[in-house]
Amino acid sequence: MEVLDITVTADAWSSLAGNVFVPHSEEEYRRIVTLLDQLIDEVGEDEDHPLASLMEVLGVLVEDYETKHVPELVSES
């Protein structure tokens, strides 16, 4: 297992933290969705793209927010 260099990670994270975060409000959710949409346009289906894992992480954050905060559409029978 590779040892994480905290100093290098902190430097890299400081440039990302304003865009990659757990959304706690509707505004933050919309910001994450906008970034995710941009990544989808850039990455597409290319699993080897350098940003593919970031796209996946943002997708998980969006899905988690929606599960907790967006009511399911009730289908009328």
Give the per-residue pLDDT at 2. 77
Q: What does the pLDDT read at residue 4? A: 81
Residues listed for the chain: 77
For the chain, state the CA radius of gyration. 15
- Average pLDDT for residues 41-61, to the nearest whole number? 96
Domains in the chain, number? 1
Query: Tell me: the pLDDT tens digits for 5-47?
Result: 899 989 999 999 999 999 999 999 999 999 999 999 999 999 9
Mean pLDDT value across residues 46-63: 96
The answer as to whether 65 is a domain residue is: yes
Choose the weakest-confidence range: 3-7, 15-19, 51-55, 62-66.
3-7
Query: Which residues have a Cβ under 8 Å from the Cβ of 35 and sit 6 or more positions away?
Result: 19, 20, 58
Cα distances (Å, whole numbers) of residue 71 to 4, 51, 61: 39, 30, 16
Q: Which domain holds residue 34?
A: 20-69
**Verdict on whether the full-model pTM lies above 0.85:** no
- Residue 53 falls inside a structural domain: yes
Q: Tokens representing 23?
A: 């959304």
